[in-house]
Amino acid sequence: MQIDFSQWLEKAGLKNLRMPIRESDGEGWIKTVAGSLTGMLAIAVLLVLLLGWWWSIEPDMFDVREVATERAQEDSQQLVVGYVTASTLIEVAETLLDRTGGYLTNDILPPGVILDNMPSWEFGVLVQIRDLARAMRNDMSRSQSQSIEDPDLAIAEPQLNFDSDSWLFPPTESEYRTAIDALYAYVRRLADPQQQDAQFFARADNLREWLSLVEKRLGGYSQQLSASVGQVRINTDLAGDADAEQSTTKPGQLEVRTPWLEIDDRFYEARGAAWALVHFLHAAEIDFRGVLEKKNALVSLRQIIRELEATQDAVWSPIVLNGSGFGIVANHSLVMASYISRANAALIDLRNLLEQG
């Protein structure tokens, strides 16, 4: 059976109906769709850039005594020796995870995956968290080398050393949350007079052991930042010991340069480490105050804090500049290295004071 549509249109009074489709109409439709998609893509890119900028805002400094006091009041406990240091470690670790945008190092989607400055900042903070947790587990919570380690710190320290960029199975955040929970348990036991197995020994040797780790970290950052413009250095690996040996032979002079694409990463890693250290040193000033006053070293500690606080000044340039040492363009890495080097020099003096009887 065939249907004659022409007769049907004639009966319906639509005989003269015409719907011409010109080639230009198709091209116009394609251009309209393409323009709409381009506009939507531009808006999406702009939103990602704005969100990335917002997530790249560094967290503010906080008052370590105030935070510790509020935490103690919530738990109806008193500030005992070591409480401020442990509480500050918790606060810094929580800030690492809960800052604007959250923890970015293990992100796999934009804008987190395209950001590199804040993940570098996070790693600098994380290294200082790990060092302090290690010092608390091995030294500050133990009366002597043969004493039993604290069970909560024995959980927290290895959890904080979990892979920093694991996205799933398990995610890094869950492992660090486990460490924070263990630190909370340690703090509560520390302030509980009935839990006498939880201790914090504010001794000069314990403080010195932790500062030795900090000294090495600051020295490494200073060298990396100074190498932003390239340097020729004398090989001093075996200096001071005529019988010293090393695995492989190195030339007498070394040319050291931080790769161009890593300059901003090293800058923000050092900036993050300094941010965490300022808080930890403020906490040490409170918990180790008796030791520092006895050694007449309180002023030295405050000088270190002041130098590190200068590293947190606002960076007004949209990028980390890398001009030559005395050139027209600034070199932010060298400025950061200057502050860190002065802090490290004061730190060496502080450790020498703590070693004196």
Give the DSSP per-residue string, 129-175: HHHHHHHIIIIIT-SSTTSPPPHHHHHHHHHHTS-TT--SSS-HHHH
245 lies in a domain?
no
Residue 210: count other Cβ atoms within 10 Å of its Cβ: 21
In the numeric block, which tokens belong to residue 347?
């730190």
Q: How far apart are CA 353 and CA 291, in angstroms?
A: 11
Whether 2 shows a pLDDT value over 60: the answer reads no
Mean predicted confidence (pLDDT) in 170-186:
97
Compute the distance between CA of residue 277 and CA of residue 265 in angstroms, rounded to an integer: 18
Q: Is residue 195 domain-shared with residue 283, that is, in the same domain?
A: no
Q: Is the pLDDT of residue 293 over 80?
A: yes
Lowest mean pLDDT among 79-88, 242-251, 291-300: 242-251
- Residue 36 belongs to a domain: no
Does 14 score more than 70 pLDDT?
no
Q: At what angle do helices 64-74 and 263-287 cross, to 10 degrees?
A: 60
Q: Are residues 209 and 327 in the same domain?
A: yes
Indicate if the pLDDT at residue 22 is higher than 60.
no
Distance from first CA to last CA of the chain, Å, rounded? 114
Residues 187 and 90 in one domain: yes
Q: What's the average model confidence in pLDDT over 43-61? A: 91
Q: Give me the mean pLDDT over the 185-210 stretch.
A: 94
CB atoms within 10 A of CB 18: 4
Taking only the tens place, the pLDDT of each residue in 239-252 is 666 667 777 777 76
**18 within some domain:** no
User: Given its phi and psi angles, is residue 13 left (phi above 0), alpha (psi -120 to 50 degrees) or beta?
Assistant: left
Domain that holds residue 276: 202-235+251-357
* Single-letter residue type at 258: T
User: What confidence score (pLDDT) does residue 232 get?
Assistant: 66
DSSP-derived secondary structure letter, 99? S
Residues 213 and 153 in one domain: no
Question: Are 106 and 224 part of one and the same domain?
Answer: no
Residue 107 backbone class (left: φ over 0; alpha: ψ -120 to 50; beta: rest) = beta
Structure tokens at 195: 């839990």
φ, ψ at 40 (rounded to 5°): -65, -40
User: Which pLDDT belongs to residue 10?
Assistant: 58
CA distances for 300 relative to 223, 274, 355, 356, angstroms: 23, 17, 14, 14
Same domain, 299 and 339: yes
Q: Is residue 257, in this structure, part of any structural domain at all?
A: yes
In a shared domain, residues 196 and 320: no
Residue 40 lies in a domain: no
221 and 79 share a domain? no
Question: Mean pLDDT, the chain, as a whole number?
Answer: 88
> Would you say residue 115 has pLDDT above 70?
yes
Question: Which tens digits make up the pLDDT trace of 214-273?
Answer: 999 999 999 999 988 776 667 666 666 666 777 777 776 666 778 888 899 999 999 999
Residue 38 domain flag:
no
Number of domains, the chain:
2
CA dihedral 219, 223, 226, 232 (to 10 degrees): 140
Average pLDDT over residues 185-206: 94
Q: Give the pLDDT of residue 318.
A: 85
Residue 29 within a domain? no
Are the beta carbons of 228 and 331 closer than 8 angstroms?
A: yes
User: Could you give the CA distance from residue 76 to residue 200 in angstroms, rounded to a whole number?
Assistant: 19
Considering the domain architecture, whether residues 169 and 315 belong to the same structural domain is answered as no
DSSP three-state, residue 110: coil
From 28-42, 54-68, 88-102, 291-305, the region with the lowest mean pLDDT: 28-42
Q: What is the pTM of this model?
A: 0.87
Q: What element of type H or E holds 256?
A: strand 253-256
Same domain, 186 and 272: no
What confidence score (pLDDT) does residue 308 get? 97
Question: Worst-scoring range by mean pLDDT, 21-25, 107-111, 164-168?
Answer: 21-25
pLDDT at residue 21, rounded to an integer: 45
Residue-level pLDDT at 297: 93
Backbone angles phi, psi at 213, to 5 degrees: -65, -45
What pLDDT is stored for residue 56 in this prediction? 92
Q: Is the pLDDT of residue 13 over 70?
A: no
User: ω before 151 within 30° of 0 (cis)?
Assistant: no
Same domain, yes or no: 104 and 176: yes
pLDDT at 274: 98
Question: Within this chain, do residues 274 and 228 fall inside the same structural domain, yes or no?
Answer: yes
In a domain, 301, yes or no: yes
